[in-house]
Structure 1
Amino acid sequence: MGAVTSSMAAKFAFFPPNPPSYGLGVDESTGKNKITGVSTRENVDVLKLCTKRGNNIVALYIKNSSASLTILYSHGNAADLGQMYELFSELSIHLRVNLLCYDYSGYGQSSGKPSEQNTYADIEAAYKCLVEMYGSKEEDIILYGQSVGSGPTTDLAARLPNLRAVILHSPILSGLRVMYPVKRTYWFDIYKNIDKIPMVNCPVLVIHGTADDVVDCSHGKQLWEHCKEKYEPLWVKGGNHCDLELYPQYIKHLKKFIAAIEKSSRNRIESGPTPDQPDIPRNSTDFREKPRPSMDIRENSRRSIEFKDKARISTDQKEKSRSGVDKRDKSRKSVDRADKVNNGAEIPEKARNSIDRFGGMVRSVGFCNIDCFRPSATHA
C-alpha cells in the first residue's frame, strides 16, 4: 500500500526543477556551506540536514535581528530554493521573522527521491534543526505550506499542540481530490489534509486565489471551514495558483496576521502558563496504515516525536453558514477579533510584474508549474 501511495505521489505531485536552479559549495575562508547561483547574504546560513529516512536535504536559515517568530516554509512542487530565494529574503524582511526553508528529498541539491513519506521526514528534520540548532520554541514557530507543501505542513501541525500558527497558501484537500471530485478519503490517497486539519490546535490563515485553475479555491475554503481556530482568510479575487505574491493584499494580509499572532502571544505570556494535558499519540488518518511514530526532538535517545499537549486559549466561536463560495462570511472567527479585515471582499489590484512595497521580488521567477497536478505523457 505504501508503494502505491508513493507511486501516486511521484506521478502527480512532484516535479522538481531539472536542472536545479542553484548549486552548493564551501566558503574557503570560513569552511561553511554556501549556495551558488544566487546573491549571497551574511544573514543566511546554508545547511545540510539528515532525515530519519537517510536523505540529506538542503535548508536555508534567514536571520532577522528584530524577529520574535520563525516561519518554517514548505514550498510548492515545481520550485526549489534557488527560485524561491528572493521571495524568502523579502518575506523575512517585511514580516520581521526568521525563516527556515528547505528542499524536499530529490529537489535542488537534496538527495533521495520525492515521496509523501520523505516530505514528512524532511519537514521533521527542518523542525528539529530549528529547535536544536537555533533554540526556537514550538510556541514561536509558524508553519507555512504552499500548494503541495500544505501536505507536510498540515501533517506536522496536527502533531504540535503548542504551535504558534499555520499558514496554508493555495492548499490541497488531498492529492486525489485535486484530480477527481471525490467526497470521501480512500486509503491510497496522499496528503489527506482534510482529515488532519481538525487536529490542528493553533490559528490557521488560508490564502487562495479565486481563479486558481490547478487547485480550485474550494479546497482552501473547505479546509478553512474545518479549522478549530480560524483567522480571517484571504481569497484573492482573480488570483491563480502561482501568482498570489504579486497582489498587494498578499503581503498586507500576512503582516496583519503576524501582528495579530505577536499580540496574541504577548497576551498568553501575561496571562501566565497553562496546565499540561496528557500526551496525545499520533494516529494515522488511514486505518489501513500503521501509524507513523511521532518525532521527539527533545530526547535524543528516542526516534519518535512526543509532544505534550498544553491547553490553548481557543478563539472558536459559532460561525454562520456560508451562502456561496465567493460570498463573504460575516461571522468568521479571528485571532484578533478587534480587527475586521475586508481583504476577502474588496477587489484587488491587477497582478503586476513586481511588488512596489514588497521589494520588487518575484521578478522573472516561475514559482510553480501550473500543470503540476495534471497527469501527462511527459510525467507518466
Structure 2
Amino acid sequence: MNGLSFSELCCLFCCPPCPSRIAAKLAFLPPEPTYSFVSDEAGSKYSLHLTEKSEWQYSQRELDCIEVFMTRTSKGNRVGCMFVRTSPNAKYTILFSHGNAVDLGQMSSFYIGLGSRINCNIFSYDYSGYGMSSGKPSEKNLYSDIDAAWQALRTRYGISPEHIILYGQSIGTVPTVDLASRYEVGAVILHSPLTSGMRVAFPETKRTWFFDAFPSIDKVPKIVSPVLVIHGTEDEVIDFSHGLAIYERCPRAVEPLWVEGAGHNDVELYGQYLERLKQFVSVDLAVN
C-alpha cells in the first residue's frame, strides 16, 4: 500500500466514489500466475500444475494431497479453489484468505507446512483477477469471492461452520471479517489486519466515511466467534495501531500475538507465530 499523489488526493475528497479506484490501486497487486489447473480428458476434474515461480518445496506425494477446482461467484466470476489435506484426523479446516501480492501457487507450500504443524486442513481460493480466477480485483468482488469459497467448502466437503477457522492475512482480513460478521464459525484469525482503507492511507482518520473502502473496524463488533489477532510491532505497510484497534473491538478476542520487531511480511518467521497458533487451536478453542 503506497502513498497517494496530489491528483488522487483531490479525487479522493472531491469526487467520490473515485476512492474505490484508489483502494484498488492501494490494495491489489496480483502477480503473474504461478500455477494452472489441468483438466482430465472428461473435463470434470483438475490437477494442479505449478511453475518455478511458485517455489514449491515438497514432493509429488504432498502435491497429490492438494485438490483444486473452480467455482462461480454471485458476480459471475470463476474463482480457483484449493483444498490441502494435511491431516486425516484434523478437527478444523482453515478457510485462508491470503495477502495481496501472492496467488495459490505461491501459497501452496506454506499451506502444507502450516496445516501439518497445527493439525488443520486448509482450504483457500484466489480473488477475482488472481491466478486462475476471472474478473478484476475489487472490494465487492472480495466479498463475493469468499462467499463462493465458503459455500464450496460447506457443500462440496460437508464441513460444518463450527469446524471452520477463518484466517485472513493483510488484505485477506477484509473478506474474512465480512464473512465472520455474518456467520458464526469455529474461530477467526486476523493476521496484520487493517481497520479501513482510509485509515491506512490517512492515519489521522478517526471516523468511517461513507466512501471508505474495507471498513473492517465497523464489522468486527458483530463477530461472535473467538478471534486471534496477530500483528508485527514494526509493520511498515499496515501500522501496528490497526491490529490494536481491531483487537479492542472484538467481543470475543483471545490473547493476541504482538510480534516484537516483525514487519508486514515476516511474522511467520518468528517462532512464537507457530507456537501461538498451536495453542489457539489445541487449548484456547477447547476452552471456548
TM bucket by the smaller chain? 0.7 to 0.9
Residue in structure 2 matching 1:22, options 35, 42, 48: 35
Q: Supply the distance in 2 between the matched residues of 1:136 and 1:209 (Cα, whole angstroms).
A: 32
Q: Structure 1 pair 5/66, CA: closer, same or farther in 2 (3 Å)?
A: farther
State the secondary structure of the residue aligned to 1:191. coil
Instruction: Give the Cα–Cα distance (whole angstroms) in 2 for the partners of residues 211 and 196 of structure 1.
Output: 25
Q: Does 1:52 align with 2:65?
A: no
1:246 to 2:259 alignment: no
Any conservation in 1 of the 2:48–2:67 contact (CA below 8 Å)? Answer: no
CA shift for structure 1 position 28: 5.2
Match of 2:193 in 1: 171
Larger helix share, 1 or 2: 2
2:226 to 203, 208, 231: 203
- Residues 1:36 and 1:220: Cα distance change in structure 2 (over 3 Å): same
Partner of 1:62: 84
Q: Is the alpha carbon distance of 1:227 and 1:86 closer, same or farther for their aligned partners in structure 2, counting shifts above 3 Å?
A: same
Question: Cα deviation per residue 1:328-366 (whole Å; 9 max; x = unaligned)?
Answer: xxxxxxx5xxxxxxxxxxxxxxxxxxxxxxxxxxxxxxx
- Tell me the equivalent position of 2:48: 35
8 Å Cα contact 2:19/2:211 also seen in 1: yes
- Stretches of structure 2 that go unaligned for 5 or more consecutive residues are 1-14, 51-55
Q: Distance in 1 between matches of 2:268 and 2:243?
A: 16
Structure-2 separation of matches of 1:98 and 1:192: 29
CA RMSD of aligned residues (A): 1.8
**Contact 1:61–1:100 (Cα < 8 Å) also in 2:** yes
Deviation at 1:95, TM superposition (A): 1.2
Matches within 5 A, 1:1-380: 4-17=18-31, 19-27=32-40, 32-37=45-50, 38=56, 40=60, 41-63=63-85, 64-160=87-183, 162-181=184-203, 182-264=205-287, 335=288
* Conserved? CA contact 1:165–1:261, under 8 Å: no
Q: Larger strand proportion, structure 1 or 2?
A: 2
For residues 274-309 of structure 1, give each alpha carbon's deviation from its aligned partner in whole angstroms, at most 9, with x where no partner exists. xxxxxxxxxxxxxxxxxxxxxxxxxxxxxxxxxxxx
Q: How many residues align?
A: 263
From the CA coordinates, give the structure whose radius of gyration is larger.
1
Q: Which runs of 5+ in 1 are unaligned?
A: 265-334, 336-380
Identity over aligned pairs, percent: 48
Letter in 1 for 2:37: L
Q: CA deviation at 1:8?
A: 2.6
